[in-house]
Amino acid sequence: MVEPLYPRDRSWHPAAHFPDYKSSIYRSPQKPLIKAPPSQNEDSGPVFGHDMLGPLDNDLIRNFAAPGELAIGPRMIVHGRVLDENARPVPGALIEIWQANAGGRYRHAKEGYLAPLDPNFGGCGRMISADDGTYRFMTVQPGPYPWPNGPNSWRPAHIHFSVFGHSFAQRLITQMYFEGDPLIQLCPIVRAISDPMAIDQLTARLDMEATAPMDALAYHFDIILRGRGSTPFENRPEGN
Amino acid sequence: MAAKRLKESPSQTAGPYVHIGCTPNFAGIKGVYDGDPGAKMLTDTVEGERITVTGTVFDGQGAPLTDALIEIWQADALGRFGTMNSGFTGWGRCPADQSTGAWRFDTVRPGASSVGAAHIIFWIVARGINVGLHTRMYFPDDPLLDSDPLLSLIEGARRETLIAKEVSPTVFQFDIHLQGAGETVFLDV
Ligand SMILES: [Fe+3]
pLDDT digits (tens, 9 = 90+) for B59-81: 999 999 999 999 999 999 999 98
The closest CB to that of A27, out of B37, B149, B178, belongs to: B178
| Chain B positions in Cβ-Cβ contact with residue A63 (cut-off 8 Å) | 32
Q: What is the pLDDT of residue B117?
A: 95
Interface test with B, best of A10, A34, A139, A171 (most B CBs within 10 A): A34
Does residue A162 lie within any of the structural domains? yes
Active-site residue flag, A50: no
Q: Is B122 helix (H, G, I), strand (E, B) or coil?
A: strand
Residues of B in Cβ contact (< 8 Å) with A44? 73, 81-82
What's the whole-number mean pLDDT along residues B120-125?
98
Residue-wise pLDDT for A197-218, tens only, equals 999 999 999 999 999 999 999 9
Residue A90: alpha-carbon gap to chain centroid: 16
Structural domain includes residue A1: no
State the pLDDT at residue B2: 52
Range of the domain at A200: 10-20+52-224
Residues B11-16 have a mean pLDDT of: 98
**Would residue A46 count as lying in a domain?**
no
- Say if A42 is an interface residue toward chain B (CB within 8 Å): yes
Quick check: A108 and A30 in contact, CB under 8 A? no
**Shortest Cα distance, chain B CAs vs residue A150, angstroms:** 14
Cα(B186) to ligand 1 centroid in Å equals 26
**Which is more confident, A105 or A235?**
A105
Q: Above 70 in pLDDT, residue B3?
A: no
Q: What percent of chain A has pLDDT over 90?
A: 89
Q: Is residue A88 part of a domain?
A: yes
How do the domains of chain B map onto residue ranges?
38-177
Query: How far is residue A226's CA from residue A121's CA, in Å, rounded to a whole number?
Result: 33
A240 is a domain residue: no
- Helices assigned H by DSSP within B25-129: none
The predicted pLDDT at position A236 comes to 47
Q: Does A34 touch chain B (CB under 8 A)?
A: yes
Residue A240: what pLDDT? 36
Least confident of A98-107, B149-158, B159-168: B149-158
- pLDDT bin (cut points 50, 70, 90) of residue B4 is confident
Q: Is residue A63 part of a domain?
A: yes
Tell me which of B4, B8, B177 to substitute to probe the interface with A (most A C-beta atoms closer than 10 Å). Answer: B8
Q: E strand or H helix at B19, and its extent?
A: helix B18-22
| Phi and psi torsions of B54, nearest 5° | -135, 165
* pLDDT of A1 strictly over 70: no
Q: Residue B48's pLDDT band (boundaries 50, 70, 90)?
A: very high
pLDDT at position A106 is 98
Q: pLDDT tens digits, residue range A16-52?
A: 999 999 999 999 999 999 998 877 889 999 999 999 9
A78 in a domain, yes or no? Answer: yes
Is A96 inside a domain boundary? Answer: yes
Domain B38-177: CATH superfamily, name plus number: Aromatic compound dioxygenase (2.60.130.10)
Å from CA of B179 to ligand 1 middle:
25
Residue A184's CB is within 10 A of a number of other CB atoms, namely 20
Torsion angle of C-alpha atoms B86, B80, B188, A163, degrees rounded to 10:
-40
Torsion of CA A231, A237, A238, A239, to 10 degrees: -170
For chain A, the domain total comes to 1
Spatial separation of the C-alpha atoms in residues B81 and B170, rounded to whole Å: 21
A155 is catalytic: yes
| Confidence (pLDDT) at A233 | 47
Domain containing residue A132: CATH number = 2.60.130.10
Q: Would the pLDDT of A2 be above 70? A: yes
Q: How far is B122 from chain A (nearest CA, A)?
A: 9
C-beta atoms of B15 and A160 within 8 A:
yes
Q: What are phi and psi of A110, to 5 degrees?
A: -95, 5
Q: Provide the CB-side half-sphere exposure for A45 (13 A, CA).
A: 20
Q: How confident is the model at residue B187 (pLDDT cuts 50, 70, 90)?
A: very high
What per-residue confidence (pLDDT) applies to B113? 78
Which pLDDT score is estimated for B1?
43
Which of A180, A212, A182, A200 has the alpha carbon at shortest distance from A78? A212
Question: Which residues in chain A are contacts of B11 at CB distance < 8 A?
Answer: 13-14, 172-174
pLDDT above 60 for A235: no
Phi-psi region of A223 (alpha: psi -120 to 50; beta: other; left: phi over 0): beta
Q: Is A160 a catalytic residue?
A: yes
CA distance A189 to chain B (A): 7
